[in-house]
Amino acid sequence: MNVEYTPKQLEAINTLNENLQIIACAGSGKTDVLSMRVVRILETIKDITPGNIVAFTFTEKAAGELKTRIYKRVKENIGEITGMAEMYVGTIHSFCLKILQDYMNDYQKFSVLDEVKTKLFIDKNFSDIGMKNLNMERYKDTDIFMILIGILKESEMENKKLPDKLKQTLIEYNNCFEKYNYFDFSMIMEKAIIHLENDLELRKKISSQIKYLLVDEYQDVNPIQEKLISIIHQLGANLCVVGDDDQTIYQWRGSEIKNILEFDKRYKGNLESVILADNFRSTQGIIDLANITIKNNINRKEKKMIHKSKYIYEEGDILYKEFQEPKDECQFIADRIKDLQKVGLKLSDVAILMRIKRLGSVLIEVLKKNEIKFIVEGVNELFSTTEALASKYIFDYLNGEMDKEALKRTWLSIDHKLDVKK
């Protein structure tokens, strides 16, 4: 398959010996650029094997998409290559776990708790995990406690002077997890960084193995992840980061926009920067609207998306309306969909994005009333919702692990109105 790349895309693909920062605007074809850069590395750099290349993605889904694209481009341009399975494409968390369990025997017995299991573990070990130091209540304050621990571990705050209570809480939290041979997501990275900084044998192994490091969605990297990236680079890996400062949406989780804005200051020397401004996905109207909005951001790299898609914008494609009631807004959406159906648009071509999950019930009700068929997607954290956890807590109450008042507070915290009877 012959793909025509733009001059800027080719520049990014063919920059192999320098550290590279790719500023990729929305719809600019970054996944294909990353994939072809891997092809070029394997084609042209002597003694480099797939196992010498590591690519970090933000989610497992993104990892699957990038891995599929890389394999496809390699097969089309080079053919079958031995050892493709040894190339790591995945999240930073999974990479850190792999390092710990591949090179440190003590960690092979450790299991990773996801967000839901971490919450249950904290509730079960409330007395020993540090919540008491902060005068927090089991069940009621668990979510807040988890957020606090995440901020302390994954931001720069842990390196600053913390109150004694917080220091003690972190110690008890870590000790409790290690006692039962468990990791949370932050602990995986913490342990990997500690060993990479202090274990000379491990440093030698990583230095000889990783020659090229690619980081996708770089704008969403937080301080502890950036520290890991920096260590791998210091051990000799060529670094390529891809991101867009205008698409940073996870600052509330600790992502740091200065990672992109100050990249050239942290990684001085042999460095190149390429901006992919062509948008192949959106109409001119959407791009113009985005550019008008984005230019108001104070801290950003100067750039402007350019319309390069085949899609034609027509007046009326973009509408802005305000409503006093959610039901009125949902009815407008339903009416709009029916109008679009009249001119030949299929329901499968329509997507409705929700900013607030609790408004979904109103929308579902209106769509059903208007006999519009729909599929609900994106509910991939069903068992971490307040409703699911509250249901689980019923069994905790029956098992004597939760008191009646705590159970009641949990159910009253749900967004939906409940008929409370004494």
Q: Residues 164-180: what's their mean pLDDT?
A: 92
Overall size of the chain counted in residues: 422
User: pLDDT higher for 407 or 126?
Assistant: 126
Strands (E), 25-83: 53-57
Each residue's pLDDT tens digit, 274-284: 999 999 999 99
Of 203-207, 239-243, 266-270, 277-281, minimum mean pLDDT range:
266-270
* Average pLDDT of the chain to the nearest whole number: 88
| pLDDT of residue 381 exceeding 70 | no
Q: How confident is the model at residue 416 (pLDDT cuts 50, 70, 90)?
A: low
Indicate whether this model's pTM tops 0.85: no
User: Which CATH architecture does the domain made up of 7-102+190-307 adopt?
Assistant: 3-Layer(aba) Sandwich (3.40)
Domain ranges of the chain: 7-102+190-307, 111-180, 326-369, 382-412
Positive or negative CA dihedral for 365, 367, 373, 374? negative
pLDDT tens, 216-259? 999 888 888 999 999 999 999 999 999 998 887 766 565 677 88
Asked whether residue 98 carries a pLDDT value surpassing 90, the answer given is yes
Q: How confident is the model at residue 312 (pLDDT cuts 50, 70, 90)?
A: confident
Give the dihedral sign, CA 400/403/406/409. positive
Which residue has better confidence, 297 or 34? 34
SS3 242: strand
Is pLDDT of 379 > 60?
Answer: no
Burial grade of 302 (CB within 10 A; 0-12, 13-18, 19 or more): exposed
